[in-house]
Structure 1
Amino acid sequence: MFKNIDKVIEVITPLVHARGDELVDIEYVKENNQNYLRIYVDREPNGIDIDEIATLSESVSEQLDLINPDPLPDPYILELSSPGVERPIKTEADWCKAKNDYVHVGLYKKINGQKSYEGTLLDYDMDKIILEIKIKTQQKKIAIPRNMIANIRFAIKF
């Protein structure tokens, strides 16, 4: 299936970028016996609105219909949307934006008795991230191995 999604990405990326938008993520999933092609787009600095998404959705749909052979021959529902404020951190550009920002980290296994953390992403490399977390009234730095991270996303600090 990745090969098919790669073809979709190849076709829609220039279309998305030509509008000044960013392709954040794409997924092809089956839910309740229905296939969904979900495409998440964003625009800096203030995000993308619903009218812009609707216009882009029409253009993307037209381009997908022109691909031959069809990379997604089974019927599917196309969904375009913004990833929202708490978007996942996946690409190198996302990681750059996330540095010094507040993030939520979900782990595969507990570290110090916890399976998730929220804090400021101070630094990162291929092996680990450095997160500044608050424990009661004190700030503490914690190193989390990247291979322990199940997911990481931007978060809203309360």
Structure 2
Amino acid sequence: MKISEMKHALAGLEAVSFRLPDGTQLPAHFHVTEVGLVSKHFIDCGGVERRETVANFQLWEAGDYDHRLAPQKFLHILQLSEKILGPDDLDIEVEYQQATIGKFGLYFDGTDFQLTTKQTACLAQDACGIPAAYIPLGQLQPAACTPGGGCC
């Protein structure tokens, strides 16, 4: 999700709600504690220099059970952050504390902001000798073999 998409979604909401990838809703008393610009300058395993820049939101919850972040307040926070984020319509990355700080992608389903899982990847698969048809082990689907089907 881009910053402009979030602003558009917030403008039509009466309440702000976030859900984790497993569907669990964040407590209504969460805070947006930071909006920042995160730049990463790195070299991939193939020797290619790369840069990534995202807008980073940090969500946090505490014992302040009466706190509710209204969409208008969130929009105001985004407006204040424009001097840090600059004019680019950046992708948003969300940090949320679980067993450790988790980093998530974000999309809006029309009602809630959904935190999405992020995956690591090799950016230079051709240089590392990883075949184009490579599927990470965790993403393999069990084969639907049947007797006599010729797949076993």
Q: TM-score, normalised on structure 1?
A: 0.27
Greater share of strand: 1
Q: Which has the larger radius of gyration?
A: 2
Which structure ranks higher in relative contact order (CA pairs < 8 Å, sequence separation ≥ 6)? 2
Taking structure 2 as the reference length, the TM-score comes to 0.27
More helix by share: 1
